[in-house]
Amino acid sequence: MKSFSKIKSIQKRLTAKECSCVELTQQYLNGIGQKNEKLNAYTCITAETALDTAKKVDEKIARGEALGPIEGVPMTLKANISTRGLETNCCSKILQGYKPVYDATVWKLLKEQGAVLLGKSNMDEFAMGSSCETSCYGGAKNPHDLSRVAGGSSGGAASAVSSGLAAYGIGSDTGGSIRQPASFCGIVGLKPTYGAVSRYGLIAYASSFDQIGPLTTCSEDAALLFDILSKKDACDSTSVGACHASVPALQQSLEGKRIGVAAEYFDGLREGVQAALDDAGRVYEKLGAKLVPLSIPEIRYALPVYYILACAEASSNLSRYDGIRYGMKAEHYTGVNDMIEKTRSAGFGKEVKHRILLGTYVLSAGYYDAYYKKAQLLRRQIRKAFTAAFTQCDFLLAPTVPMTAFPLGFTSQDAVETYQTDICTVPVNIVGLPAVSVPCGTDENKMPVGMQLIGNTGREDVILNAAYQYELKTRT
């Protein structure tokens, strides 16, 4: 089996004693020191934690013991994933200085495997945004062009992995927040089936949409990490674990596979994105798969359904940040209500306030039936439409984003068009399906284009194998 794995190549160097884990970790830390000022991928560097773990890995190698699948490999975590004793602030002023007293389940699993944590990565505030620019630290930049965004909300992790400042990253995806930055930065990003990976310790944006997943340099690494992270967890009532292991599925032929191409996903694509997707389709045909044209008209409702429901959940989830229990607190106030108002006004950024207000509005008396209830009914219809689509195909091929990475500051100029960049990613979160973004070429400006492979519930193995077969055919 041909490997493009960065994780395996790092471990090969370590076990061959070409370098020690401490030396390797220090190389990554030096790279962060040199590049991060321009990229702004990291908001917190955990050098001491990383080097302590690296020393233990070196001791294990010296004893002649075999390494675990990801042991000794330097990585990064998104700033909304809880790490005990390390600041986890969601890139928001309101949570500055907050250090959780427990680890998120995903970090606990990785830590048990000997993962080397280099630091916490930049993100849109509370994962609300498509550019990473709503972060209180300013946005992460795209390594392919520093004048463009890395994408959001997991922009810091995507920027770090793409620029070689981490072997892989762990992010979260509520409406495309892993896949969109992966597409913009030219890497692989997997959003698992809802419930496959525990959300325990993930600071919530919209609980029925949120899912944690990996950002990697190849599909093989994404499969490896998914298999490690997709464990059923008693701490998360929605957790079910994986239905199928992904790594063993990476050698299956695509001969005779049916790939659904829904016309609605291809409306309004930029020319360079369309051309790259057309080329990707031809690659799959050469691999023996059959492209099946189909229609999912309900997709046109996905964007309003997503923003109504996700913002409604956000307005509830973010009500806990009031200055009383943790996080920042207003210094001057006349009473409890005044303190809460001043704390939230100063602590939340503009985009977060917009979404809280929208969510509060659609849940309020007189508007609940008109907006929230109707959106829930449409969510059910969208789910039925995808179920019907999978009777005609094994997986879907779609663009990840209708365009490539846009310039810095674009979101402040055209907020509506920025929201529309989520049009291809949000249907998956509404339904809870797995999807992976895979690099499939570049546009006229040499910026990466991502294709999205969407699987049926629990079929990460199918889409990751399809991604791997594409890489075999196209990577040199």
| CATH number of the domain within which 287 lies | 3.90.1300.10
> Could you give the residue ranges of the DSSP H alpha helices within 137-196?
155-162, 179-185
Active site residue 177: yes
Q: How far apart are CA 152 and CA 43, in angstroms?
A: 15
pLDDT at 299 over 80: yes
* Range of the structural domain that residue 48 is part of: 1-476
Catalytic residue among 6, 60, 78, 191: 78
Task: Tell me the pLDDT tens digit for each residue of 141-175.
Answer: 999 999 999 999 999 999 999 999 999 999 999 99
Task: Tell me the pLDDT tens digit for each residue of 446-466.
Answer: 999 999 999 999 999 999 999
Catalytic residue among 153, 183, 315, 437: 153
Q: How far apart are CA 401 and CA 385, in angstroms?
A: 21
The closest of 215, 220, 213, 218 to 246, measured between CA atoms, is 220
Task: Tell me the pLDDT tens digit for each residue of 372-394.
Answer: 999 999 999 999 999 999 999 99
Write down the pLDDT at residue 325.
84
Mean pLDDT along residues 400-427: 86
Write down the pLDDT at residue 236.
98
Sign (positive or negative) of CA dihedral 340, 345, 349, 353: positive
The closest of 244, 239, 210 to 226, measured between CA atoms, is 244
Catalytic residue among 5, 130, 131, 177: 177
What does R_g of the chain's alpha carbons equal in angstroms? 21
The closest of 108, 62, 60 to 82, measured between CA atoms, is 108
Task: Tell me the pLDDT tens digit for each residue of 64-96.
Answer: 999 999 999 999 999 999 999 999 999 999 999
Write down the pLDDT at residue 412.
66
Total structural domains in the chain?
1
Q: How far apart are CA 275 and CA 316, in angstroms?
A: 42
Mean pLDDT along residues 417-445: 94
The closest of 287, 292, 245 to 391, measured between CA atoms, is 292
* Contact call for residues 129 and 315 (beta carbons, < 8 A): no
pLDDT at 1 over 90: no
Active site residue 17: no
Question: Which residues neighbour 420 within 8 Å (Cβ) at sequence distance 6 or greater?
Answer: 303, 402
The closest of 385, 153, 414, 88 to 265, measured between CA atoms, is 385
Annotate 259-279 with DSSP letters as a single string.
EEEEGGGGTT--HHHHHHHHH
Write down the pLDDT at residue 341.
94
Mean pLDDT along residues 200-224: 98
Mean pLDDT along residues 4-9: 97
Task: Tell me the pLDDT tens digit for each residue of 226-280.
Answer: 999 999 999 999 999 999 999 999 999 999 999 999 999 999 899 999 999 999 9
Task: Tell me the pLDDT tens digit for each residue of 302-330.
Answer: 999 999 999 999 999 999 999 888 889 99
Overall size of the chain counted in residues:
476
Predicted confidence band of residue 184 (pLDDT cuts 50, 70, 90): very high
Write down the pLDDT at residue 74.
98
pLDDT at 332 over 70: yes
Average pLDDT of every residue of the chain: 96
Active site residue 135: no
Axis crossing angle, helix 105-112 with helix 219-229, rounded to the nearest 10: 110
The closest of 186, 246, 251 to 215, measured between CA atoms, is 186
Write down the pLDDT at residue 414.
67
